A and B are shown apart, each in its own frame.
Chain A
């Protein structure tokens, strides 16, 4: 059952007719324009790569430029990388003046008169994911087991074969996604399990519940790690693990946000409260632990606060929103969640090597223009989102407007280039993470969109909605890729596994569904 697109508006129809009547000038590149000189820069470090290269204008397409760059960098024929190119028009500090080169240089740069063939074009390149996630297209398993609605799901950082789901029947369950069977039932909570979180080293699962407690479980065996951790006086809304490269080895910490307006940091081995971050005046709706040693919290008191994770002191308060802040996302969310696990599946052995690899991965993902930058996007009930760079300034980089109802969920793409926002106005919107510019509206859902998740290669996006469907979107074109009906009721939670093989979803119809290619 495909989603039928709305009929074209009058404006679109007249535009179509006009286009049909007028003669189109054919897209071809004249071959008498001579050469254009290109100087490559690494976007992450800003370093110059190789000498300026002279390319005939007629051949200056992204495909060919990619080939030249691969040769310049000495990449083997077998290990050629896809690159994304951007042309810097202004000076270095100006973030806004960057043009994405998506097709060819003639049409984008020379024809529009931005530069001439006399200039040397400084092209910044960013490597794209070398692997490609295939779009999920079928429901491989619908597993019943939970007695009530499923409220949260998360995949293991190691692979797509394990997933945990928290439910209204006050249990969490671990599923074996390869066979589509239940593995363990995590019993202990006395009320709904609202938040589940897998530690970045794949060893421990934390669950937060309506009964005001946090519980820890061994991920392998599903056995409880000690008793409940009491402290909060209202239900738990979100959980965040300390990034692996910041942990003292064998002594991870966990942050839990609660309706009681506090965030508590738990010492997982001693099972006691390390610090209590109190300062919010309303329910804390989201907590994220950044890779630079900061904890970010969003609250219903309209503020976002940044805390020092070491001693639990308040660093900044970001005031800009005019209503509840519902969710926040970091540009480094994906690497922080996966720690030292990457797409190759190789795990370094001693603990020091693991920390080193996790740190390397984090720095690689966070480095923009030579320094480590962690960006933050916050979604709010005032229908807007703000993009922040808290290390530099407490003023927002940009305000993202366009949604017509509350924005419920935001997420950064794993490569940190896109932001997707899910809203109650039935739309998902895509934004440029560099400057917060609007890119696409993903239309198709007929009811509020609850959550969205990027694939590991940032080329696809899946969104879950009240209208009982999941939809897979192509990020580049902004078109619907696949419609995934199957759930019998609202889909509350969705997650795309870090290796991209599986999408897991759960909702009001009590069944966990796994979607594969």
Chain B
């Protein structure tokens, strides 16, 4: 038996008082009187608490009344299943894709070059290297030298370049991050460590004009405004431009081809939030 259920237990064993129902009815009947007395007589903190509770109750009540009223109203207008006109053959189809079917009317506005870099977040806080990187001092030799760095910010979890190619063509300190399908070389060859726990592959992308948010896979990091090296490392900070895969939204170009990648800008401090929120650049 849980604690505090002594009344229930007593009732189970002995039954209810013979006048239980009657007393309950009377108490309910006097409820209004009790409430009005409380409203008038209570003072101080109790009055405040009481009024707060009463206000919340009234709001609920009014809402309920309104919904009841709406149910009874008979409108003469035929209720249109959707705000935008659609042809007869699409009328009874579920508009499940509605939220996703971002209108392709709003698109390709960024064709002109001038508009290309007018982004929602034009300025971001600078992040110094000592905030971005933690010096790793483990082991006998690395402790002495201290050249190894761990990135303290979220990063994108995929390589853009073939790992072998990147080893061949880039000096080790500028090498793009490796993909997660890549067998790592010995740790001592890597100068930058991107912790697995801070890697992201998906972003919650909002379409600014339709106010729809969809989770989409990230394709690449296009530009980190802090430092070109961060772009190469795939660091995701507030203001970073990323390319997201919008193919499932079904956007098409004027020529009738499917739009695949589309740029978006990160709007939150992802290292604090544990998720990536971005806004689509249209």
Seen from chain A, the residues whose Cβ lies within 8 Å of a Cβ on chain B are: 1, 3-4, 148-149, 151-152, 167-169, 191-192, 194-195, 210-212, 234-235, 237-238, 259, 283, 285, 300, 324, 326-327, 408-409, 445-447, 450, 465-469, 483, 485-486, 488-490, 492-493, 508-509
Of B78, B84, B92, B255, which is within 8 A of A300 by CB? Answer: B92
CA of A237 to CA of B87, assembled, Å: 9
A326 touches B254 (CB 8 A): no
B105 touches A485 (CB 8 A): no
A468 touches B254 (CB 8 A): yes
CA of A467 to CA of B253, assembled, Å: 8
B85 touches A237 (CB 8 A): no
CA of A446 to CA of B86, assembled, Å: 20
A92 vs chain B, min Cβ distance (A): 40
Fill in one digit per residue for B28-57: 1 if any A CB lies within 8 Å of its CB, else 0: 000000000000000000000000000000
Given A237-B88, A446-B256, A469-B255, residue A191 in contact with residue B78 (CB < 8 A):
yes
Please give, as numbers and ranges, the residues of chain B lying within 8 Å of A465 by CB-CB distance.
256
The 6 closest A-B pairs by CB, nearest first: A168-B85, A1-B255, A469-B256, A151-B87, A467-B256, A492-B87
Would you give 27 A-B contacts (Cβ < 8 Å), ordered by A? A1-B256, A3-B256, A4-B257, A151-B87, A152-B87, A168-B85, A192-B85, A194-B91, A210-B78, A235-B78, A235-B88, A235-B91, A237-B88, A259-B92, A283-B92, A285-B89, A327-B89, A409-B89, A445-B256, A447-B252, A466-B252, A467-B257, A467-B258, A483-B256, A485-B255, A488-B254, A489-B103
A1 touches B87 (CB 8 A): no
A211 touches B88 (CB 8 A): no
Please give, as numbers and ranges, the residues of chain A lying within 8 Å of B77 by CB-CB distance.
191
CA of A148 to CA of B91, assembled, Å: 16
CA of A4 to CA of B255, assembled, Å: 11
Is residue B80 within 8 Å, beta carbon to beta carbon, of the partner chain?
A: yes
CA of A300 to CA of B255, assembled, Å: 35
A5 vs chain B, min Cβ distance (A): 12
Is residue B95 within 8 Å, beta carbon to beta carbon, of the partner chain?
A: no
B256 touches A167 (CB 8 A): no
Seen from chain B, the residues whose Cβ lies within 8 Å of a Cβ on chain A are: 77-78, 80, 84-89, 91-92, 103-105, 250, 252-258
A211 touches B78 (CB 8 A): yes
A151 touches B255 (CB 8 A): no
CA of A409 to CA of B88, assembled, Å: 12
B237 vs chain A, min Cβ distance (A): 35
A313 vs chain B, min Cβ distance (A): 27
CA of A238 to CA of B88, assembled, Å: 8
Of B87, B91, B257, which is within 8 A of A450 by CB? Answer: B87
Most buried by A among B78, B89, B104: B89
Please give, as numbers and ranges, the residues of chain B lying within 8 Å of A195 by CB-CB distance.
88
Please give, as numbers and ranges, the residues of chain B lying within 8 Å of A168 by CB-CB distance.
84-86
Given A409-B89, A447-B252, residue A149 in contact with residue B84 (CB < 8 A):
yes
A160 vs chain B, min Cβ distance (A): 23
CA of A191 to CA of B81, assembled, Å: 12
Please give, as numbers and ranges, the residues of chain A lying within 8 Å of B78 by CB-CB distance.
191, 210-212, 234-235
Please give, as numbers and ranges, the residues of chain B lying within 8 Å of A149 by CB-CB distance.
84-86
Of B92, B105, B252, which is within 8 A of A509 by CB? Answer: B105
CA of A23 to CA of B78, assembled, Å: 69
Of A237, A326, A467, which is within 8 A of B252 by CB? Answer: A467
Of B86, B87, B105, B250, which is within 8 A of A488 by CB? Answer: B105
CA of A492 to CA of B88, assembled, Å: 10
B86 touches A151 (CB 8 A): yes
CA of A283 to CA of B105, assembled, Å: 31
A326 touches B105 (CB 8 A): no
Please give, as numbers and ranges, the residues of chain A lying within 8 Å of B254 by CB-CB distance.
1, 468, 485-486, 488
CA of A235 to CA of B79, assembled, Å: 10
Please give, as numbers and ranges, the residues of chain A lying within 8 Å of B103 by CB-CB distance.
489
B250 touches A447 (CB 8 A): yes
B162 vs chain A, min Cβ distance (A): 21
Of A212, A485, A509, which is within 8 A of B256 by CB? Answer: A485
Which chain B residue has the least Cβ–Cβ distance from A192? Answer: B85
CA of A493 to CA of B250, assembled, Å: 20
CA of A486 to CA of B256, assembled, Å: 9
Most buried by B among A4, A151, A191: A151
B87 touches A493 (CB 8 A): yes
CA of A468 to CA of B257, assembled, Å: 9
Which chain A residue has the least Cβ–Cβ distance from B107? Answer: A488
A468 touches B85 (CB 8 A): no
